[in-house]
Structure 1
Amino acid sequence: MSNRLAHETSPYLLQHADNPVDWWPWSPEAFAEARRRDVPVLLSVGYSSCHWCHVMAHESFEDPAVAALIDEHFVAVKVDREERPDVDAVYMEAVQAATGQGGWPMTVFLTPEAEPFYFGTYFPPAPRHGMPGFPQVLEGVRAAWRDRRDEVGEVAQRIVRDLSARTLAVDTSRAPGEEEAHAALLGLTRDFDAVNGGFGGAPKFPPSMTLEFLLRHHARTGSAAALDMVQATCEAMARGGIYDQLGGGFARYAVDATWTVPHFEKMLYDNALLCRVYAHLWRATGSGLARRIALETADFMIRELRTAQGGFASALDADSDDGTGRHVEGAYYVWTPEQLRAVLGDKDAALAAAHFGVTEEGTFEEGASVLQLPDTEELFDAARLASVQERLLAAREARPRPGRDDKVVAAWNGLAVAALAECGAYFDRPDLVQAATDAADLLVRTHMDWQARLFRTSLDGTAGGHAGVLEDYADVAEGFLALSAVTGEGVWVDFAGLLLDTVLARFTAEDGTLHDTADDAEALIRRPQDPTDNAVPSGWTAAAGALLSYAAYTGSAPHREAAEKALGVVRGLAPRAPRFIGWGLAVTEALLDGPREVAVVGPGDHPGTRELHRTALLSPAPGAVVALGEPGAAPVEVPLLEGRDLLDGRPAAYVCRHFTCDAPTADAGLLAEQLGAP
């Protein structure tokens, strides 16, 4: 017998549709039911590839006795944080304020007015490691609601007041400059792990946005320190267990400081962001390792995450069947020496163990090892290694596969569009450009309505009912602009403009700050507003970047002014928290460099046009925008192309920045000089 979640489209909610708990989706009806019954709301927030969400579901939500306790005394509401990031953000802020930490599953008890009064994350089924058992928590909350209702109400109201009083003091009157960029570089240098790469200690997350800032800072200033941090971090991640050495693609994070043991879930957003970072590292250095990782990650996304409709699924689970019926984290990816011998025979198993760091003791659990890639490739025969890898991959394909969350999230698909379009252009892979185009088509066809409003998610080609948040508008616009630069199709600039006009109209406050939800979105206990990066660029700074690029394509002063105001937040955060404002710093680099505007004009099939276009795309100039058009085209699709013509009958490139243009050139070498670092 299923519950109300059986009618939802979120794969995470559907995972709970057969629980004995009488779950409700987040809805006014759920809170009306709590008021009618005069009981609190149990809010449980998670996502489909979350390991501890699965654990708590199995231990508690699938237990009939626990379910009966929940159903008798609470209205239970289940939320997919990826589908409703606004709900997640508001209550996660409360959890972190109350407990000093957060995570998923997130467990919050609310009044029927949606006011939080008791918080936690994962609760075990019985007391363990100083944590109360979940039945104990339920009984305690029930007793407090019954016997100390006034106290509960006062706590809830105080929490809401405290949250409402939290305001961001942002000076939007001045954009960040050299001082902030330099302070951020110093701060990152202090946090840099010179031994293992990355920043800080365990657990260690891929610092995608920070790496993009450092690459842009190096391109603009020539800073060797910035490039060194990028190279060391990217090599450490690529050789570590966080990277899938057989199938490509990155796991969510490493539980240690050495990138050895990952939390095995694979997210679309991590792989899209890192694919782009490694492609940009190759662009800056010509690194063969960076090129390989960028392409393998792009191929992973298409092979493992692409949906039948041309979009990209959200994630692969960390857990899978280990072949004995147990659902185990990492089972699909790890190897024992015995498993290597079974596939490869003794001689090649010994080579594989040495090459991938598989030991008898193991680097993970139960004697298993996560495959790594020590810097010893030159010690082994390349053809033999290729054979070993091919056989191991084939053997792994026969294992039970991790589950996939097929939900298409607009923002994350925007990130994938940008990464695949650029990789396709850099590495002469038209199939990757086509995949980016197909995903962009799906976003327009399924996620955008006629008013240029976005739906956050879709499943099987059908849009979900939840409104897009700021990061959706910003990242989709970013993807469209990157796709236009690669394909020369100006319609993508137009679509980006429609989305960014919605950002200006619905998400931007009078003082230039940005909200995560639209002004006509569902009212929560507070309107979320967060300029800091998490696993993805903050919607705030992603919007600033897209607005800045769009202004460069169109000459729109309102869009540039909005970008500069939004970047005011970087001034306060760059000196003290640069790791958490990485995308804002990357956009600041674009602002400081112009950004440079490149118009390439010529017949599309002319070798000279293609050479100039490729040279422009390969420029490391931070945030440079590239427009490609036919001479004499009417109407002109992108304003940046207005008035541009051939040069003595030859394809030409025009470079401008800060309202000043260089002389047009038909020479790709000269164009490269114009676009090089000063």
Structure 2
Amino acid sequence: MAVDKKPNRLIHESSPYLLQHAYNPVDWYPWGEEALQKAKQEDKPILVSVGYAACHWCHVMEREAFEQKSIAEVMNTHFVCIKVDREERPDVDAVYMDALHAMGLQGGWPMNVFLNAEAKPFYGGTYFPPKRWKALLANIAEAYATNRDELNESAEQFARHLNRNELEKYGLEQQNYHVREDDFKLIGHNLSRQFDKKNGGMGDAPKFPMPGNLLFLLRYHHHTSDQTILNHLHLTLREMAYGGIYDQLGGGFARYSVDAEWLVPHFEKMLYDNGQLISLYAEAYQATHESLYHDVVYETIAFVERELMSPEGGFYSSLDADSEGEEGRFYTFTKQELQDILGDEEPIFSKYYHATASGNFEHGRNILHRRIPDEKFAKENELEMDVLEEMVQNWKQKLMKVRASRIRPALDDKILTSWNALMLKGLADAYYTFGNKHFLELALKNARFILDNLKNGDRLYHNYKAGKATIDGFLDDYALLIRALIRLYEVTFDEQWLLEAKNLTDYTLENFFDEKESLFFYTDRNAEQLIARKKEIFDNVVPSPNSVMATNLHFLGLYFDDERHTSLSDEMLARVKDLLLKEPSHLGNWASLYFHKLTPTAEIAIVGPEAPEMRAELTSFYLPNVILAGATEASNSKLPLLEDRVAINGKTTVYVCYNKTCQLPVHTAAEALKQLKGAEQQPKFPSL
């Protein structure tokens, strides 16, 4: 950093993304009342520029435009310029991204939106090359001075669009609640129409993992035994794990692949992706016992613990795509580098990971990737499996040692409640499947960190940095944490986690819920009021918080015998059902809720001295539509599900119930599984 550079107001922020712009010559403001008042006082339009720390094209636009004095002078003269970290303020991002779409423009980041002094948008876009950006600034400034009335009218129209309710916008009419087998199969059919049958996943490039859709397909296959669906799942999970989107040396997934083959990733690594993909691969292993899925879970958790975990037990947000001014440089190797590191073993290594002299990426570098299973590679190269496995581990150790000496991608070290909740659930799911105690230790440490540092009374905070939590929690913070705490209860039988989930749910019902639409707002009624108060219905790379809350209400209704929760969950699903049938690729988590409601969710209560061991035995089987409760002594429980449950004759006892009707109590996992299997063979309920 040059000594003559002076900081702007962003120097006082905690967001790594805002701090990246703290020495721009642009007179940036953070989002807040000071900037909005300045626009009114000086009668200037507002430029809101939104991005995030790991965003490659955000860095490019900063370098090409925001660091250039000639461009900054235009921005400072004619605009009040506001920088927003979309990960800290997803509410601001959502409002203006919706505006961009209303303008008929493609969304993405960096996002640059022009507002009038009332914070209402009238124009916008994403990345602009420097010449176009400078010309656009001049045109907007001229239009604001000479055609103010026309721009204000456009802004009013967009503001009205932003404030349309979801009923009106998507035709979400109130419907009677019915779940039907034929509708369930229609969801699966419509989703399958988008399969990439060659490479896995959905559609063409760029390709995102979308774990919520894949989790639904796993459950769809469980219900229907549709082999085509299972084949597609295996293809997708394998190709992602073999591809460049997965870090073959250090574990963990990049955000997406720029091509259809999962080869060239956008190298940024996000906590939210990896948390969800741990859950996905853990559940897929439970269903299939495919060893590759085991390895992916273990390696990805190792990556997150090594590179994203704070000493306090929170998880940082992301790693940048770039290092040393190049995207992916940290992760890629030239053929010569590989020869220098591996010596005589380089040819077999390069055959295994498909590295070439010319490279498969920029600057002659290679993205390591696989194409065939180890068993086939060993056979083709006349190697014993144990020899190949040892060679691969040695290669990884040597190359990871070299990587450790490189300049690392920048770390976004803010801690977000919602993303931590996804990782917390991933760890709990991994423990649920594999029984590895270290996974549970990490999960418990993270849960305590969240509740100690990101919760104040009944309310959650969204972010934590440098010992402070400052932004009010959003719906996804509550929804995803509630879901994670429910799972944490299931793997510990410690009721504090379930009671905490219930308390947080009570808060969301009081402060986020819209009785008119039977849906939740994204923002707390006590939080800052923007020009629109949005509801998130569609899944993005993270499941929609309304779908997560509907799922939470379904499970909590069963745990606490609360008909209000159950009915509300039914109403929410009924509200989106038509959309779900038509567009399941954007509502995968709603589809999973449909699965849970298609047949009654099994309620399994385990009571007795060996309750944890019995739970572990049961969860070694794939049981995707059950809830688990347990205690060594049920008399101490506050859960209706455990009322009047005893360890008969002092022996650990399992109670399997559906729809408030219970089977005979049994004392072994095998007997309980028979009851579950028998229940699965009962006729499906056309409506509940």
TM-score of the pair, normalised by structure 1:
0.95
- Tell me how far apart the structure 1 counterparts of residues 273 and 62 of structure 2 sit (CA, whole Å): 25
**Is the contact made by 2:46 and 2:80 (CA closer than 8 Å) also made in structure 1?**
yes
List gaps (5 residues or longer) in structure 2: 1-5, 682-688
> Match of 1:181, SS?
helix
Q: Which amino acid aligns with 1:165?
A: R
Q: Work out whether 1:354 is the aligned partner of 2:357.
A: no
Judged with a 3 Å threshold, the aligned counterparts in structure 2 of structure 1 residues 602 and 505 are, in CA distance, closer, same or farther, namely same
Counterparts of 2:217 and 2:620 in 1: how far apart (Å)? 17
How far apart are the structure 2 equivalents of 1:648 and 1:64?
81
- Deviation of the 1:470 alpha carbon: 1.1
- 1:665 matched residue in structure 2: 666
583 and 376 in structure 1: CA distance in 2 versus 1, 3 angstrom threshold: closer
The answer for the alignment partner of 1:130 in structure 2 is none
Aligned-pair distance for 1:428?
2.8
Residue among 190, 198, 202 paired with 1:199? 202
Contact 1:470 1:515 in 2 (8 A): yes
1:561 partner amino acid = S
Match of 1:546 among 531, 552, 565: 552
Aligned equivalents of 1:298 and 1:382: distance in 2?
Answer: 20
Deviation at 1:134, TM superposition (A): 1.1
Asked whether the equivalents of residues 601 and 631 of structure 1 are also in contact (C-alpha less than 8 Å), the reply is: yes
- Among residues 340, 344, 368, which one is paired with 1:342 in the alignment? 340
Paired with 1:106 and 1:177, the residues of 2 have a C-alpha distance of 42
Q: Does structure 2 retain, via aligned residues, the 8 Å contact 1:491–1:637? A: no
What root-mean-square deviation, in Å, do the aligned CA atoms of Structure 1 and Structure 2 show?
1.5
Equivalent residue letter for 2:336: E
Letter in 1 for 2:528: E
Residue in structure 1 matched with residue 648 of structure 2 by the alignment: 647
Amino acid at match of 1:670: E
Moved more, 505-514 or 411-420: 505-514
Any idea what the Cα deviations from partners look like across 1:76-117, whole Å, max 9, x if unmatched?
111111111111111101112213310000000001100101
Structure 1 residues 674 and 296: alpha-carbon distance in aligned structure 2, compared to 1, 3 A threshold: farther
How many Å separate the matches in 2 of 1:176 and 1:267? 35
Question: Structure 1 pair 172/114, CA: closer, same or farther in 2 (3 Å)?
Answer: farther
Mapped to 1, the partners of 2:534 and 2:635 lie a distance apart of 45
Asked whether the 8 Å contact 1:176–1:570 carries over to 2, the reply is no
Q: 1:443 to 1:173 in 2, by over 3 A?
A: farther
> Which residue in the other structure is 1:20 paired with?
25
What is the letter of the counterpart of residue 222 of structure 2? A
Cα distance in 1, alignment partners of residues 21 and 179 from structure 2: 46
Shift of 1:166: 5.6
Question: 1:280-302 deviations in whole A, cap 9, x for unaligned?
Answer: 01100111111111111112111
Conserved 8 A contact 2:538-2:544: yes
The residue identity in structure 2 corresponding to 1:442 is F
Q: Using the alignment, how far apart are the partners of 2:556 and 2:621 within structure 1?
A: 18
Equivalence map 1:584-623=2 (5 Å):
584-603=590-609, 606=610, 609-623=611-625
- Give the 3-state SS of the residue equivalent to 1:151 in structure 2: helix
Partner residue, 2:400: 393
Check the 8 A contact 2:634/2:642 in 1, yes or no.
Answer: no
Q: What is the deviation of 1:632? A: 4.4
Q: In structure 2, the residue corresponding to 1:122 is in which secondary structure?
A: coil
Q: Counterpart amino acid of 1:265? A: E
Taking only the aligned residue pairs, the percentage that are identical comes to: 39
Summarize the alignment of residues 73-112 of structure 1 with structure 2, pairs less than 5 Å apart: 73-112=78-117
CA distance in structure 2 between the partners assigned to 1:515 and 1:176 by the alignment: 25
Contact 1:570 1:581 in 2 (8 A): no
- Structure 2: how far apart are the matches of 1:516 and 1:178? 32
Ranges in structure 1 where 5+ consecutive residues have no aligned partner? 127-132, 322-326
Of 218-227 and 475-484, the range deviating more from structure 2: 218-227
Counterpart secondary structure, 1:107? strand
Out of 386-395 and 528-537, give the one that drifted further. 386-395
Partner of 1:329: 327
Task: Work out the CA distance in 2 between the residues paired with 1:408 and 1:616.
Answer: 34
Deviation, 1:501, is 0.9
Equivalent residue number for residue 222 of structure 1: 225
One-letter code aligned to 2:22 = A
Q: Paired residue for 1:366?
A: 363
Give the equivalent residue in structure 2 for 1:255: 258
| Mapped partners of 2:632, 2:391: distance in 1 | 49
Please tell me whether the aligned partners of residues 102 and 161 of structure 2 are also in contact (alpha carbons under 8 angstroms): no
Could you tell me how far apart the structure 2 residues matched to 1:409 and 1:38 are?
A: 36
Alignment check: 8 A CA contact 2:175 2:574 kept? yes
SS at match of 2:635: coil
The amino acid of 1:352's aligned partner reads F
CA pair 594-462 structure 1, distance change in 2 beyond 3 A: farther
Is 1:557 the counterpart of 2:563? The answer is: yes
Q: 1:33 aligns with which of 25, 30, 38?
A: 38
Which amino acid in 2 is paired with 1:456? H
1:517 and 2:523 are equivalent in the alignment:
yes
The one-letter code of the counterpart of 1:341 is Q
The aligned counterpart of 1:324 is none
Is 2:68 aligned against 1:58?
A: no
SS in 1 for 2:428: helix
Q: Distance in 2 between matches of 1:644 and 1:172?
A: 38
The one-letter code matched in structure 2 to 1:669 is A
User: Do the aligned residues in 2 keep the contact of 1:202 with 1:255 (CA within 8 Å)?
Assistant: yes
Pick closer, same or farther for the CA change 1:516–1:32 going to 2, 3 Å: same
CA distance in 2: counterparts of 1:7 and 1:559, whole angstroms = 43
Which string of whole-angstrom CA distances, capped at 9 and with x for unpartnered residues, describes residues 305-325 of structure 1?
11121011111111111xxxx
CA offsets per residue over residues 617-666 of structure 1, 9 Å max, x none? 344333421112122432x1433212111123210111112221111111
CA deviation map 1:197-218 (0-9, x unaligned): 1111110100200111111222
- 1:500 matched to which residue of 2? 505
Aligned residues: 659
2:239 is the alignment partner of 1:236: yes
The counterpart of 1:120, out of the listed 112, 117, 125, is 125
Map of 2:275 onto structure 1: 272
**Is 1:460 paired with 2:469?**
no
The SS at the match of 1:654 is strand
Which amino acid counterpart does residue 233 of structure 2 have in structure 1?
A: V
Name the structure 2 match of 1:141. Answer: 140
The answer on whether the counterparts of 1:531 and 1:569 sit within 8 Å (CA) in structure 2 is no
Q: CA deviation at 1:221?
A: 3.1
Judged with a 3 Å threshold, the aligned counterparts in structure 2 of structure 1 residues 105 and 176 are, in CA distance, closer, same or farther, namely: farther
Q: Work out the CA distance in 1 between the residues paired with 2:105 and 2:114.
A: 17
- Match of 1:359, as an amino acid? T
Secondary structure (helix, strand or coil) at the match of 2:363 reads coil
TM-superposed CA distance for 1:68, in Å, is 1.6
SS in 2 for 1:19: coil
Q: Which amino acid in the other structure matches residue 484 of structure 1?
A: Y
Q: 2:654–2:665: 8 Å Cα contact kept in structure 1? A: yes
Letter in 1 for 2:204: G
SS of the equivalent of 2:366 reads coil
Conserved? CA contact 1:531–1:539, under 8 Å: yes
Superposed CA deviations along residues 164-201 of structure 1, whole A, max 9, x for unmatched, are: 23633323542544333211110122111111011111
**Cα–Cα, structure 1 residues 102 and 633, in superposed 2: closer, same or farther, change >3 Å?**
same
> Match for residue 50 of structure 2?
45
Q: Give the conservation status (yes or no) of the 8 Å contact 1:422–1:433.
A: no
Q: Output the CA distance in 1 between the equivalents of 2:437 and 2:206.
A: 37
TM-score under structure 2 length normalisation:
0.93
Q: Which residue in 2 is equivalent to 1:583?
A: 589
* AA in 2 matched with 1:21: V
Where 1:145 maps in the other structure, the secondary structure is helix
Equivalent position to 2:305, from 298, 302, 305: 302
Match of 1:129 in 2: none
Asked if the contact 1:252–1:262 (Cα under 8 Å) also holds between the matched residues in 2, the reply is yes
| Alpha-carbon spacing, 1:175–1:523, altered in 2? closer, same or farther (3 Å) | farther
